């Protein structure tokens, strides 16, 4: 389950930011996850709860913001929505689409308290 490693990385980032800013308690962590990134939100919630127990984020709420898939079609020159990796362009039907969004994961916000 790669969500455990992702949750550990999120906690590492949160702990580093907390130390750098003198924060002793985190209330909420907001994470953006692309819909094409193959991350299970349910599994990430479970893993976050497990790895945050002995950290400044113990008891914190994990909020996941979904980022839609998007790409640039090299054939028709349009920015298009993507429902799957390596999918065809919904405009021209060709498969020369470069993904521009939807596979990212980033800590967007940390609420302290």
Domains, in order of start, for the chain: 2-69+101-112 (3.30.2320.50)
Query: Residue 1: pLDDT band by 50, 70, 90 thresholds?
Result: low
**pLDDT number for residue 97:** 96
Average confidence (pLDDT) over 66-76 = 96
Segment 80-101, tens digit of pLDDT: 999 999 999 999 999 999 999 9
Q: Please report, in range form, the residues annotated as the binding site.
A: 2, 73, 76, 89, 92
C-alpha to C-alpha distance for 31 and 89, rounded to whole angstroms: 28
- Pick out the residues of the known binding site for Ni(2+): 2
Annotated binding-site residue numbers for Zn(2+): 73, 76, 89, 92
Looking up tokens 């599994």 gives 43
Exposed e or buried b for every residue in 68-81, given b needs 16+ CB within 10 A?
ebbbbbeeeeeebe
Burial class (CB in 10 A: 0-12, 13-18, 19+), 89: buried
Which tokens hold the place of 99?
Answer: 């993904």
pTM for the model stands at 0.87
């Amino acid at each position: 389950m790669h969500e455990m490693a992702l949750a550990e990385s999120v906690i590492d980032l949160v702990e580093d930011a907390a130390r750098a800013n003198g924060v002793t308690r985190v209330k909420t962590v907001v994470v953006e996850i692309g819909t094409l990134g193959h991350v299970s939100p349910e599994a990430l919630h479970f893993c976050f709860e497990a790895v945050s127990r002995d950290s400044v984020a113990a008891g914190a709420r994990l909020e996941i913001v979904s980022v839609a898939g998007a790409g640039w079609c090299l054939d028709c020159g349009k920015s298009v929505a993507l429902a799957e990796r390596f999918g065809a362009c919904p405009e021209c039907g060709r498969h020369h689409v470069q993904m521009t969004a939807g596979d990212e994961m980033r800590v967007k916000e940390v609420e302290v308290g």
